[in-house]
Amino acid sequence: MNLALDTNRYTDLCRGDADVVERIESADTVVLPFVVIGELRAGFGVGRQGPKNESVLRRFLLKPGVRIVYADDQTIHHYANVYRQLRQQGTPIPTNDMWIAALVLQHSLTLYDRDRHFDSLPQIPRA
């Protein structure tokens, strides 16, 4: 399984949540959308353990099977479709999560999160 981590699941991993560790270790590939990296680094910048957290993130990103995905022209089309769907349904979600959803769809990933608002996008496979 190619697993895309949401910010909250990366945080759970760093806290040592056994179920999260097991799920991530069993994945073929672990993907962090660029938005997740941005959210994490923004949090590091206002937290008390910024340098330590940055070091942990850098080590994680160097592990075999871990990669980052970035937005491109295809992502923009997926984002527009997600935006339109959510607007028609009347079920808005945070902008960053629409970008994550677009990247998950584009790269045929399974999203690993704990946000109920992704329930509004049934086309996204979830772990």
CA separation for the pair 115, 125 (Å, rounded):
13
* Residue 74 is assigned to a structural domain of this protein: yes
* Residue 127 is assigned to a structural domain of this protein: no
* Residue 125 is assigned to a structural domain of this protein: no
pTM for the whole structure: 0.95
Of the chain, the percentage scoring pLDDT greater than 70 comes to 100
Per-chain mean pLDDT for the chain? 97
* Residue 59 is assigned to a structural domain of this protein: yes
Range of the domain at 24: 2-120
DSSP-based three-state secondary structure for 11: helix
Phi-psi group of 65: left, alpha or beta (phi > 0 → left; psi -120 to 50 → alpha; rest → beta): left
Question: Once rounded to an integer, what is the mean pLDDT over residues 71-77?
Answer: 98
Question: pLDDT of 13-36, one tens digit each?
Answer: 999 999 999 999 999 999 999 999
- How many independent structural domains does the chain possess? 1
- Domain CATH for 32: 3.40.50.1010
